[in-house]
Structure 1
Amino acid sequence: MKTTGNKAAASVTMVALANIQPSSYNPRKNFDEEKLNELAESIRQQGVIQPIGIRPIDGSEKFEIIFGERRYRASVIAGLSEIPALVMNVSTATAKEMAITENLQRKDISPIEEAHAYQQLLDSGHHDTKSLAVQFGKNETYIRTRLKFNNLIPEFALMLENDELTISAASEICRYSESIQQDLYEKHFKNTAGYGTWRGMKASELAKNIEQHYTTDLMRFHFDKSKCLSCPHNTNNMELFCDGSCGSCANRSCLAERNTDFIVKKAVQILETNPTFSLGYNEFNCDETAVNRLAELDYELEKLSFSQKQYPQAPQQPQREEYETEEEFQQDIARYDQAVEQYAEQCKELVRKNEEGEISLYAQIGHYDITLCYTDVAKQGNTKNSEQLTEIQKLEKKDIRNKEIAHEKTVKDTKEQILNADITESKFGADEDKMMYFFLLSSLRKEHFSIVGIENDHSPYLTGEEKIQIIANLTPKAKAVIRRDFLIENFKTGYSDDAVAQLLIEFAKKHMPEELAEIKNTYDTEYEKRHQRIEEKKAVIKEHKEGKTTKSKADKVSKPKQPKEQEAAA
Structure 2
Amino acid sequence: MKNTPKNIAIEKLFPFEGHPFKVQDNEEMNALIESIQEYGILSPLIVRPKENTEDKYEIVSGHRRFRAAVKAGIKEVPALIVPLDRDAAAIAVVDSNLHREHILPSEKAFAYKLKMEALSRQGKRSDLTFDQVGRKLETAEIIGQQADESKNQVRRYIRLTNLIPPILDMVDEKRIAFTPAVELSYLLPEEQRMLLSEMEYSDCTPSLSQAQRLKALSIQGLFTKEQLSAIMSEEKANQKERVKIPVERIRKYFPKNYTTTQMEETIVKLCEAYHRKRLRDRDAR
When normalised by structure 1's length, the TM-score is 0.32
Secondary structure in 2 aligned to 1:31? coil
Q: Which of these residues, 39, 54, 64, is aligned with residue 60 of structure 1?
A: 54
Counterpart of 2:277 in structure 1 is none
Deviations for 1:122-151, whole angstroms, at most 9, x for unmatched residues?
223146110111122222232122112122
Residues in 1 aligned to 2:53 and 2:221: alpha-carbon distance in whole angstroms: 55
Q: Does 1:253 align with 2:221?
A: yes
Deviations for 1:154-207, whole angstroms, at most 9, x for unmatched residues?
3211222344433344234224444543332221x224xxxx3324x7xxxx12
Counterpart of 2:232 in structure 1 is none
Q: 1:25 to 1:100 in 2, by over 3 A?
A: farther
- CA drift of 1:113 comes to 1.9
Q: Does 1:13 align with 2:14?
A: no
Q: Return the letter of the residue paired with 1:165.
A: I
CA contact (8 A) 1:149 1:157 kept: yes
Residues in 2 aligned to 1:82 and 1:210: alpha-carbon distance in whole angstroms: 50
Secondary structure in 2 aligned to 1:107? coil
Runs of at least 5 residues in structure 2 that lack an aligned partner in the other structure? 123-137, 224-285
CA contact (8 A) 1:12 1:51 kept: no
Counterpart of 1:147 in structure 2 is 158
Counterpart of 1:114 in structure 2 is 108
CA contact (8 A) 1:27 1:103 kept: no
Task: Describe how 1:163-178 pairs up with structure 2 within 5 A.
Answer: 163-178=174-189
Q: 1:64 to 1:251 in 2, by over 3 A?
A: closer
- CA drift of 1:119 comes to 1.4
Deviations for 1:369-408, whole angstroms, at most 9, x for unmatched residues?
xxxxxxxxxxxxxxxxxxxxxxxxxxxxxxxxxxxxxxxx
Counterpart of 2:149 in structure 1 is 138
Task: Describe how 1:298-447 pairs up with structure 2 within 5 A.
Answer: none
Secondary structure in 2 aligned to 1:109? coil
Residues in 2 aligned to 1:26 and 1:49: alpha-carbon distance in whole angstroms: 26
Secondary structure in 2 aligned to 1:90? coil
CA contact (8 A) 2:106 2:172 kept: yes
Secondary structure in 2 aligned to 1:84? strand
- CA drift of 1:26 comes to 4.2
Q: Does 1:207 align with 2:179?
A: no
Q: Does 1:190 align with 2:238?
A: no
CA contact (8 A) 2:8 2:77 kept: yes
CA contact (8 A) 1:100 1:121 kept: yes
Secondary structure in 2 aligned to 1:129? helix
Counterpart of 1:181 in structure 2 is 192
Q: 1:49 to 1:61 in 2, by over 3 A?
A: same
CA contact (8 A) 1:17 1:76 kept: no
Residues in 1 aligned to 2:31 and 2:171: alpha-carbon distance in whole angstroms: 25
Q: Return the letter of the residue paired with 2:204.
A: W
Residues in 2 aligned to 1:162 and 1:106: alpha-carbon distance in whole angstroms: 18
Q: Return the letter of the residue paired with 1:174.
A: S
Q: Return the letter of the residue paired with 2:209.
A: K
- CA drift of 1:105 comes to 3.5
Q: Return the letter of the residue paired with 1:68.
A: G
Q: Does 1:32 align with 2:24?
A: yes
- CA drift of 1:88 comes to 0.6
Residues in 2 aligned to 1:56 and 1:210: alpha-carbon distance in whole angstroms: 45
Residues in 1 aligned to 2:153 and 2:32: alpha-carbon distance in whole angstroms: 31
Counterpart of 2:139 in structure 1 is 128
Q: Percent of pairs identical after alignment?
A: 22
- CA drift of 1:90 comes to 2.0
Deviations for 1:59-114, whole angstroms, at most 9, x for unmatched residues?
63333322212111212222334323221122233223322332333333321121
Residues in 2 aligned to 1:60 and 1:98: alpha-carbon distance in whole angstroms: 23
Q: 1:43 to 1:250 in 2, by over 3 A?
A: same
- CA drift of 1:211 comes to 4.8
Q: 1:50 to 1:185 in 2, by over 3 A?
A: same
Residues in 2 aligned to 1:129 and 1:97: alpha-carbon distance in whole angstroms: 13
Q: Which of these residues, 38, 50, 53, is aligned with residue 43 of structure 2?
A: 50
Task: Describe how 1:475-554 pairs up with structure 2 within 5 A.
Answer: none
Q: Return the letter of the residue paired with 1:36.
A: M
Q: 1:153 to 1:17 in 2, by over 3 A?
A: same
Q: Return the letter of the residue paired with 2:19.
A: P
CA contact (8 A) 2:45 2:79 kept: yes
CA contact (8 A) 2:10 2:77 kept: no
- CA drift of 1:29 comes to 6.2
Residues in 2 aligned to 1:83 and 1:118: alpha-carbon distance in whole angstroms: 29
Pick 1 or 2: higher relative contact order, CA cutoff 8 A, min separation 6.
Answer: 2
Max radius of gyration: which structure?
A: 1
Secondary structure in 2 aligned to 1:44? helix
Residues in 2 aligned to 1:151 and 1:114: alpha-carbon distance in whole angstroms: 13
Secondary structure in 1 aligned to 2:204? coil
- CA drift of 1:254 comes to 7.2
Residues in 2 aligned to 1:100 and 1:208: alpha-carbon distance in whole angstroms: 33
Q: Return the letter of the residue paired with 2:153.
A: Y
Q: Does 1:98 align with 2:66?
A: no
